Amino acid sequence: MSESNAQGYLPYGRQNISDDDIEAVIDALKSSRITQGPRVEEFEEALCEYTGADYCSVLSSGTAALHLAYAALDIGVGDEIVTSPITFAATANAARYLGADVRFADVDPASGNISVASVADKITPKTKAIVAVHLGGLPCDMREFRKLADFHGIALIEDAAHALGASFRGNSIGGGIADLAIFSFHPVKHLTTGEGGAVTTNSKSLKERIDRLRHHGIERNPENFSTPSPGRWYHEIVELGYNYRLTDFQCALGLSQLKRQAQGVARRREIAGYYRELLSPWSSSMSAQAQYDDRFSAYHLFPLQINFQALGVSRGETMDQLDQLGIGTQVHYIPVNHQPYYKSVYGEPESLPGATEYYARTLSLPMYPELSNSDVDYVVGSILNVLGLSTAESQRTKVAS
Ligand SMILES: *Cc1c(COP(=O)(O)O)cnc(C)c1O
């Protein structure tokens, strides 16, 4: 392990802020409207163009986007959503904000994505929506989920926080396969606004409802008032809303970042291809996330399934040793139904063997467009060493390359 890493620490993911991004933010800060200005709509239009959706509302976070997506569908007390336990807490938490219940379905351990058959099992007369999480940017089977949702007359939502730039059968994720899709612009995601998020939809009424909920439930269109408008100051609070707005300088950053998005996804896919190539001789001990001909992953993450048990090594120690070698890794995710809060609400989690297996083996490796191929060589070489897999043969080919 004499090889050193010239790049400094390699985190599992990180943002990229260019000089152009900084310029754009400064311009916005110097303009007359630093919030509720023209850049909000500009960013929404650019996201519509990128995803192919008819409508978009940008919001203060991906969590706010989930909250308002559920609220716009009138999900509340007595209702249920079905989602994956292998997701970030917010997917489930946002339903709890509204007093709704969360039923967790199992995942396919080869992809970590929620299984259509398991979701079908969990649907009850109380179910209002299926929430498909595209883990790491790999799309779920959206054709089957659409059929299932239509069969039951319920909504289909995509948690596409990882999947900006992904597609299913040539259709962009967030472009209208689902009724609503949410995105996150947290710095670890593809594109950042610091904090931020968005909902895309092809439904004008859902878009209008989300815009109203984003701004205190205030209605400004005189045509929708309960009484004739007495003057230009007048507005009506028609329901309980929130302040979930995104500022103009955040939208300026998002607009500038979006220009590099397609290029970033292309580079992520190259990096993933190179990881797969280097890891392929070790398939008996570890495997990359499943791939499908009809799906194009945006590779927010590069999750690896490592058979720690068979190798007789602990994941905690593996992560510690990689950290000492300057390599950041992460576990996506601890099954949400095993979290103390969810146990306090629903009791001991029911057995979901796919999620249990996936969680036991998963480790996300560094993945962001600025990684070089030699960084990838270094990451893979280090993992093989730490897992005790590297042979004299692999060391020689590594030095030669
Ligand atoms: C990041 C993330 C969210 C929440 O987004 P924030 O912008 O951090 O609120 C929701 N779902 C998933 C799967 C995420 O990764």
Got the DSSP string for 248-270?
HHHHHHHHHHHTTHHHHHHHHHH
Residue nearest atom 3 in ligand 1 by C-alpha distance: 62
Ligand 1, atom nearest to 135 Cα: 13
| CA gap 311, 390 in Å, rounded | 13
| CA gap 173, 289 in Å, rounded | 18
Give residue 6's pLDDT.
52
Contacts of residue 255, defined as CB under 8 A and 6 or more positions apart, other chains included, come to: 24, 39, 42, 43, 46
CA of 392 to the centre of ligand 1 (A): 42
CA of 278 to the centre of ligand 1 (A): 30
Residue nearest atom 5 in ligand 1 by C-alpha distance: 62
| CA gap 244, 279 in Å, rounded | 43
Helices (DSSP H) in 229-348: which residue ranges?
Answer: 248-258, 261-279, 308-311, 315-324, 340-346
Question: Which amino acid is present at 23?
Answer: E
- The terminus-to-terminus CA distance of the chain in angstroms comes to 16
Ligand 1, atom nearest to 162 Cα: 15
Ligand 1, atom nearest to 87 Cα: 13
CATH of 19-258, one of 3.30.360.10, 3.20.20.60, 1.10.580.10, 3.40.640.10: 3.40.640.10
Ligand 1, atom nearest to 196 Cα: 7
**CA quadruple 236, 216, 154, 101: dihedral, nearest 10:** -130
**Phi, psi angles (nearest 5°) of residue 216:** 65, 10
CA of 196 to the centre of ligand 1 (A): 9
Tokens of 43: 């960013």
Tokens of 278: 């280097």
**Phi, psi angles (nearest 5°) of residue 287:** -140, 145
CA of 258 to the centre of ligand 1 (A): 18
CA of 387 to the centre of ligand 1 (A): 31
Give residue 392's pLDDT.
45
Ligand 1, atom nearest to 66 Cα: 10
Give residue 7's pLDDT.
59
CA of 60 to the centre of ligand 1 (A): 12
Ligand 1, atom nearest to 64 Cα: 9
3-state DSSP call for residue 362? strand
CA of 59 to the centre of ligand 1 (A): 12
- Is there a common fold for 19-258 and 261-400? no
Residue of 15, 88, 164 to mutate, ligand 1, most atoms within 8 A of C-beta: 88
Tokens of 105: 């379905």
Spell out the per-residue pLDDT of the chain, length 401, in tens: 334 455 589 999 999 999 999 999 999 999 999 999 999 999 999 999 999 999 999 999 999 999 999 999 999 999 999 999 999 999 999 999 999 999 999 999 999 999 999 999 999 999 999 999 999 999 999 999 999 999 999 999 999 999 999 999 999 999 999 999 999 999 999 999 999 999 999 999 999 999 999 999 999 889 999 999 999 999 999 999 999 999 999 999 999 999 999 999 999 999 999 999 999 999 999 999 999 999 999 999 999 999 999 999 999 999 999 999 999 999 999 999 999 999 999 999 999 999 999 999 999 999 999 999 999 999 999 999 999 997 644 444 444 44
Count of other CB atoms within 10 angstroms of residue 40: 21
Domain boundaries, the chain: 19-258, 261-400
Task: Report the pocket of ligand 1 as residue ranges, CB < 6 Å.
Answer: 61-63, 87-88, 90-91, 133, 159, 161-162, 184, 186, 197
Starting from the edge strand earliest in sequence, which strands make up the sheet with 302-306, in order? 286-288, 302-306, 362-365
User: Which homologous superfamily is 261-400 in?
Assistant: Aspartate Aminotransferase, domain 1 (3.90.1150.10)
Residue nearest atom 4 in ligand 1 by C-alpha distance: 62
Ligand 1, atom nearest to 188 Cα: 1
Residue of 159, 164, 246 to mutate, ligand 1, most atoms within 8 A of C-beta: 159
CA of 184 to the centre of ligand 1 (A): 5
